[in-house]
Structure 1
Amino acid sequence: MKVVVIGAGPSGLVACKSLLEAASEDFPFDPVVLEQEADIGGTFRFRSYQNATLVSSKQLTSFSDFRLPFDHPDHLTLEEYVEYLREYCKKFDITDRIRLETKVVNVSRDPAGGHIVSYVSKAPSGEWEVTPRTINASYVALCTGLHVIPAIPAVPGIEHVLNAENHVESGVTPAAFHSVEYKSRAQLVGRRVMILGTGETGMDLAYEAAKAGAKEAVLCSRSGQVDLFPHALNDFEIFGFKFNSKKSSVPIDSLITNLAETAYVHPWVASTHIRWFVSDFVIKRLMWFLTGTQAGCNQWVGELEPERLGRAYVFLNKSHKAMPYINRPYKSRPAILEYMSRYIDPPEDMPPHTDFTVDLAPFPTHFLPNGRAVFPSSKRKDAIRIQKRDVRPDLVIYATGYRQEFSFLDKDGGYPTPGDADVRNVVRTGDESIAFIGFVRPGVGAIPPISEMQTFFWISLLKGQVKTPLPPPHYHLLVKDTARIKYGVDHSAYMSTLAKDIGAAPGLWELWWECGTHVLVCYCFGAAFTTFYRLLGPYRSSLAPQICKTELWDTVTRRGLLGNFIMGLIPMVFYLAVNGLALGLELLLTLGGLVRL
C-alpha cells in the first residue's frame, strides 16, 4: 500500500516512521516522503532566524520513543531541533524514503482507486523538471504544515513608507517584508522598526530590535496581545526568597496534570469546559499575586478583552523576553505588594540601554504621504499613548502569520481541506484515504507530538480499529464565527481524546498492574505526553516505562512538594469530586429512567 507523505517537517517524518512500524501483512504500508526543499525540517529549517528557540519544551516536543539527552536544556534552538530530526531519521531508517527537491504539482483521484500523485524534481541546473512523473498511491498524508505561505494584509499607504524621499535624513533604504524573510539582527540595526502582529514571532522580533540597537520599535496588535507567559515557570521572588534557578525551572507546557482534568473526565464535565474556566480563575488570581496583573505573567499593557482572556479562547504566547521593554511606561505597583511577590526580569533579557522602549500600538489604519502611521482611536492604554507620537517607520515587518493553500489538489477531485476534516481534524467522513497531519494548533503545547498521535489515529482508522461512534469533540478552543483561526485545540484534551479513540489511554488499575506505582503516579501527575499513550494499547513501546520513570518523572519532581500540592493534588481532588458528582447524577437520572447509559 503506497503512501505518499507530502512534506519532510516533523509531521511528515513521524508519519512515515509510524506507518512503517504499523505495516503488516494485511496493511503493507509503503511510505515515501516528497519534500520540495533541499533539506528536512520544514518551518524549523527554512523559516528560522538568528537566536530563535523552541518555546515548547523538549519533554513535550520530542517524539514518544526518541528522546533527547537527559542533561540537555529544556528548550532547543531551531538548529538543534533540526539536528534532532536528522538523528530521528537515521535511528528509524527512513532517510532513504525521503525524496528532497521533489515538488508535488497535482494530486488527483485514480479511477481504479486511490490517488495519482504527480511531481517534479529539481535538475542539477537548479531548474524544475517540465514533465511531471507520477506515483499511484493508496493513501496520501498531507504534512505541509501551518506555516508555509505568508499572510500579508493590505495596509493602505504602505508605498509611502517605501518612498526613499521620506527617509533622506536617516540615510537608510526603506523596506517592508514578511517575518519569513527575517534572518538576523543585522537587518534591524539603526532602524525605525514597526512590527505588525504580536504572536510569538512578533514578540521575538520586538526583542531582537531592542537587542540589535534599533532606533525605535513599535509593536502593533489587532485587538490586544494573547496571554503572555515565560516558557518556563521561574524568575519569581516571594517575600525576599528568589526562585530563579534554571535547574529547577518548570516548563509551562508540563504543568497541566492528567488525572481527572485530562484523563477520566465525565462527558458532561468535558462538554461544559468547566476545567478550563476554573483553571483560568485560579491562574489569573495567582498571576495577580505574583506579578500584579491578570492578563498574563507580568503583562501590564495589551491585554485582551475580558471575554477572550483565558485558556478556553487563546493560544498562550510563550515568547516573553520583550516584556521588560514594553512594560516601562505602564508598570505601577505598590511597594508592599512588590515586596510580597514579584516577577524578576531575567538579566539577559534586560535592555542594553536604560531608555529604550518597545511601544505597543493598534494596527495602523493607513500611512500618510509623508510616511507617518495613522492609528485608530481607542480606549486602550497603548492606543492613547501612541496617538501622541509621530511614528514614521523605515522598516515594516509583517509578523501576521500564514495561510493554507492546497493548489496541488485537483479541483475536480472533490478533495477536502483541513477545515473539512470533521473526523478528529484528521480526515473527512467517507474520505479516509487522505489525511491532514499537523493542521491543528494547541493553545498550550506543540504540534509535533500532536502529529504523532494524529498518525496513530489515522492508522487505526484505516485498520478499522477506532472505537465508534466517536464521542463529541470537546477539545476545540472557543472562538467566534468571525475568528481568523478556527483550528485551535486544547493540547491535553485533544491528545487524550485521540488516545481514547484508539484504545491507547490506559486504565489506572491496568497501568498499575502492568507498569507499577512509579509509572502510575507519573501518569497521574504528568502532562499529556505522547509516551503515556504508548505504555499500553496498540502502539505499546518497551521504552515508554523507562522514559516515564526518568525524564517525565523529572518534570513532576521539579515542581517540589508545594508545587505538586498546589498544581497537582488540589486540582485532582477538586476535579475528581466534580466528575464524581456528574457520575452520581447520571446514575440517579438513569435509575429514574430519564437518561440512558
Structure 2
Amino acid sequence: MARALVVVVGAGPSGLVACKSLLEYASPDFPFDPIVLEQEADIGGTFKFRSYENATLVSSKQLTSFSDFRLPFEHPDHLSLEQYVNYLRAYCRHFNIEHRIRLESKVVNVARNPSGGHIVSYVTKTHSGEWSPRPHIIEAAYVALCTGLHVIPAIPEIPGIEHVLEPQNHEPGTLPAVYHSMEYKSRAQLAGRRVMILGTGETGMDLAYEAAKAGAKEVVLCSRAGFLSFPKALNDFEIFGLKYKSDKAAVPIDSLITNLGETAYVHPWIAATRVRWFVSDFVIKRLLWFLTGTQAGCNQWVGELEPERLGRAYVFLNKSHKAMPYLNRPFKSRPTILEYMSRYIDPPEDMPPQTDFIVDLAPFPTHFLPNGRAVFPLSKRKDAVRMQKRDVRPELVIFATGYRQEFSFLDKAGGYATPGEANVRNVVKSGDETVAFIGFVRPGVGAIPPISEMQMFFWISLLKGQIKTPLPPPHYHLLVKDTARIKYGVDHSAYMSTLAKDVGAAPGLWELWREHGMHVVVCYSFGAAFTTFYRLLGPYRSPSAPATVKKELWDTITRRGLLGNFIMGLVPMVFYLALNGIALCLELVLTLGGTVRL
C-alpha cells in the first residue's frame, strides 16, 4: 500500500503529539507518514510566541506532560513557559520527529483532491524574509489541524479608546498606549504608568499582578461578568489555630478530582444529569465559606459570578491567583470570630508588599471621553458602585480579551467544517473523518496537551475502524447559554474518560488488578484523569505507564495526606459509587418490569 501522507498544521504541543502518535501507531494497512507545517521559525506555538516575563503554566506538569515522556521530579510542578518549550524540544528529540517538522512553512490553502484526499498548498520564507510567491503542493490522505485556540487576537470595539494617550515622559512610539496582551513581554512596559487591563482570564490576572510588582501608578482590572478564582496549587490553611500543611510539596489543584465513581463506573443516567458536578459544587462552596469566608472562589471577595454560572459545570477555573490579595483589600470583611475558626493562607511569594496598593476591579468601560476618562456602566456590582466615584484616565490599555480562530486557508468550495462543527467527539465532522481538529476544546480545569493526545488516539482508532458505533451521548460539555462567546468548553475528566472508553483504553478494576496489582488499582481509583492511566491496558498501552503510575502519580496522590485523601478522595468516591449503584438498581427494576409486561 502507498504511504498515507498526513499533513499536520502547527508545531505546538498538539501538532507534535499528533505527529508522534501517527508514527507510533502506523501499520501496514494504515502507513501514516506525517509532515508538520509550522509558519513560525520555531516549535512551541503559543507557549513560545505569546509568552511573557514571569509566565508559568497554571496546569501541573503531572497533568500537562505527555503520557510516555515525563518530567523529572526536580522540575517544579508548574513550569515556566521557557521550561515547557524546552520540554517540547526534548520530546521531539526523544521520539525522533525533528526531521518531520518544516518551519517557516505557512499553509495557504487546503482543497479537496478530485482523486481523493486533500491538496495542501504552503509557502516558505525566502532569504529576504518574505513569503515565497509560488506555493509548494502536497497531496495528503489526511489533514490534522493543530493551529491552536490562541492565534488571532480578539479585540472588542470600545468607542473613544483612541483618546487613551501615551504618558508625556515616554518617547512617542516606544511604548504604545493600547495593545493586545500578545504584545506584552515584560514589566518594563508597565512601570510608572496608569494601567487598565481588559479581561479577567488568567492572562489578565497575571498582568494585574505584574503591573503591581512593576510599580505601576495605578492598576484597573476590568471584568465582563466576573470570574472563578482558585490557586493553581492547594495552599495552607488553619483551623482553630492549627496550621494544616502538606507533608510534601503543595498539591496541584488539577490533580484533586478522583476517578472511581466520578469518571470510571459512571451510570449513563448519572452522567447525563451532571449530578456529580452539582454535588461537588455544593460541597466545595461550603468548604470555601468555612475556610475563607466566601463562596465566590477561593478567598475571592470581589468579581463573583452570577449564581447561575458559579460552578465547574459552567466556567473555566481561573488559576492565576496572585493578584487576588491586591483585589481583595477594599472588599474583604470577615468577622473576627470566623477568622479565628479558620483561615486560608495566601502563598508567601504571592503576598503583596506592606503597602496599601490596590488593584481596582471594574466593569468593562462603555466608552472613553475625549479627555481620556473611562466611563463605566451603572450596575449593582460592588466593584461597579465603587468605580463610579473614581476618575480613571489610563495611560495604557491592554486587551487581555483572548483569541479567536480563523480557517481562511480551508477552501470554501471543499465544504470543510470548523471546530464547532466537529460533531464526533469534537474531533471530526461526521462523514469527513479525514480532517481532524486536535486541541480545539478547552477544559474547565485541566490542560489541552493531554487532551490532544487522547484525541489523537480517538482519531487513529476512528480511521482504522476500531470505534464501536453509535457512540454514547456526549455528557462532557460545559453548560453555556446560546449567547456565550466560548462554546468549546469541556469537563477535563469526563471528556478524557469518554475518549478512553470509546477507544477501549479505559481499564476495568479487575483487569487492572490482575495485570498490574493493587498498587496501580488504588492509584487509578484515587487519581485524576491522567492520560497515563489509559495506557496501562488496551490498544494504546505503553511499557512505561506502570512505573509512571507507581512513582510519579502515586507521589501526587499521597501529597494530599490521609486527611486530604479521606475528604477529597474516599468520601466523594463512596458517595458517587452509591449514587451510581442506585441508578443501576433502578434501571434493572425498570428493565425487568418492562420484560414482565411484555
| Corresponding residue for residue 109 of structure 1 | 112
Q: Hey, what does 1:453 align to over in structure 2? A: 454
Q: CA deviation at 1:353?
A: 5.0
**Contact 2:193 / 2:218 at 8 angstroms: preserved in 1?**
yes
**Corresponding residue for residue 316 of structure 2:** 315
Alignment of 1:179-578 (within 5 A): 179-225=181-227, 227-244=228-245, 247-578=248-579
Deviation at 1:244, TM superposition (A): 4.8
Tell me the residue number matched to 1:156.
159
User: How far apart, in 2, do the equivalents of 1:249 and 1:9 lie?
Assistant: 29
CA distance in 2, matches of 1:578, 1:259: 12
Q: Deviations over 1:305-343 (max 9, x none)?
A: 000000100000000000010000001111121122112
1:346 and 1:29 map into 2 onto residues whose CA distance is 48
Counterpart pick for 2:48 among 37, 45, 49: 45
Distance in 1, matches of 2:98 and 2:331, equals 52
* Equivalent-residue separation in structure 1 for 2:407 and 2:17 (angstroms): 21
Q: Is it true that 1:75 corresponds to 2:91 in the alignment?
A: no
Match of 1:89 among 84, 89, 92: 92
Match of 1:180, as an amino acid? M
Q: Which whole-Å CA distance do the structure 2 matches of 1:38 and 1:353 have between them?
A: 44
Q: CA deviation at 1:239?
A: 2.1
Paired letter, 2:279: V
Q: CA deviation at 1:168?
A: 4.8
Instruction: Give the direction of change, closer, same or farther, for the CA distance of 1:595–1:511 in structure 2 (3 Å limit).
Output: farther
Residue number among 11, 19, 22 corresponding to 2:22 in the alignment: 19
| CA RMSD in angstroms, aligned pairs only | 1.4
Cα distance, 1:171 vs structure 2: 8.6
Kindly provide the CA deviation profile for residues 481-535 of structure 1, in whole angstroms up to 9, marking residues without a partner as x.
Answer: 0000000000000000000000000111001001110001000000000000000
Contact 2:247 2:561 in 1 (8 A): no
Residues 51, 81 of structure 2: 8 Å contact kept: yes
Q: Structure 2: where are the runs of 5+ without partners?
A: none
**Structure 2 Cα separation of the partners of residues 387 and 244 of structure 1:** 41
State the distance in 2 between where 1:585 and 1:176 align. Answer: 60
| Deviates most, 35-44 or 554-563 | 554-563
User: 1:468, CA displacement in angstroms?
Assistant: 1.3
Instruction: In structure 2, give the amino acid aligned to 1:469.
Output: P
Measure the CA separation in 2 of the matches of 1:512 and 1:595: 38
Question: How far 1:235 sits from its partner (Å)?
Answer: 2.6
When residues 558 and 245 of structure 1 are mapped into structure 2, their CA distance, relative to the original with a 3 A threshold, is closer
Distance in 1 (CA, whole Å) between partners of 2:98 and 2:596 is: 54
Aligned match of 2:37: 34
> How far apart, CA to CA, are the structure 2 residues paired with 1:400 and 1:45?
19
Aligned-partner SS, 1:116:
strand
Find the aligned partners of 1:434 and 1:243 in 2 and give their Cα distance: 50
Deviation at 1:352, TM superposition (A): 3.2
Asked whether the equivalents of residues 111 and 414 of structure 2 are also in contact (C-alpha less than 8 Å), the reply is yes
TM-score, scaled relative to structure 2:
0.97
The letter for the 2-side match of 1:155 is: I
Tell me how far apart the structure 2 counterparts of residues 85 and 30 of structure 1 sit (CA, whole Å): 20
- 1:135 maps to 138
Q: CA deviation at 1:247?
A: 3.4
Q: Give the match's secondary structure for 1:470.
A: coil
| 1:274 Cα deviation after fit | 0.3
**1:170 offset after TM fit, Å?**
8.9
CA distance in 2, matches of 1:568, 1:51: 33
Letter in 2 for 1:4: V
In 1, Cα distance between the equivalents of 2:281 and 2:187? 36
State whether residues 286 and 295 of structure 2, in contact with CA within 8 Å, keep that contact through their aligned partners in structure 1: yes
Give the percent of matched residue pairs that are identical in Structure 1 and Structure 2.
83
Q: Displacement, 1:236?
A: 1.6
**Match in the other structure for 2:128:** 125
Inter-partner Cα distance in structure 2 for 1:248 and 1:56:
15
Q: Are the counterparts in 2 of residues 586 and 595 from structure 1 also a CA contact under 8 Å?
A: no
Equivalent-residue separation in structure 2 for 1:466 and 1:21 (angstroms) = 19
Contact persistence 1:19–1:29 (CA under 8 A): yes
Q: Indicate how the Cα distance of structure 1 residues 170 and 370 shifts in structure 2: closer, same or farther if over 3 A, else same.
A: farther
Counterpart of 1:319, as a letter, is S
Mapped partners of 1:321, 1:570: distance in 2:
31
| Unmatched segments (≥5 aa) in structure 1 | none
Shift in Å, 1:192: 0.4
2:57 and 2:106 map into 1 onto residues whose CA distance is: 27
**Pair 1:595–1:182, CA change in 2 (3 A):** farther
Give the match's secondary structure for 2:278. Answer: helix
AA paired with 1:143? C
The question of whether the paired residues in 2 share the 8 Å contact of 1:237 and 1:342 is answered with yes
Report the Cα offset of residue 181 of structure 1: 0.2
Report the 3-state secondary structure (helix = DSSP H, G, I; strand = E; otherwise coil) of the residue aligned with 2:144.
strand
Residues matched between the structures, number: 592
Over 3 Å counting, the alpha-carbon distance change for 1:595 and 1:431 in structure 2 is farther
Distance verdict in 2 for CA 1:170–1:435, change over 3 Å? closer
TM-score, normalised to structure 1's length? 0.98
Distance (Å, rounded) in 1 between the aligned partners of 2:68 and 2:247: 26
Determine if contact 1:157/1:368 at 8 Å carries over to the other structure: yes
**Residue 578 to residue 245, structure 1, CA distance change in 2 (3 Å):** closer
State the Cα distance separating 1:238 from its structure 2 match: 2.1
Q: Distance in 2 between matches of 1:235 and 1:201?
A: 25
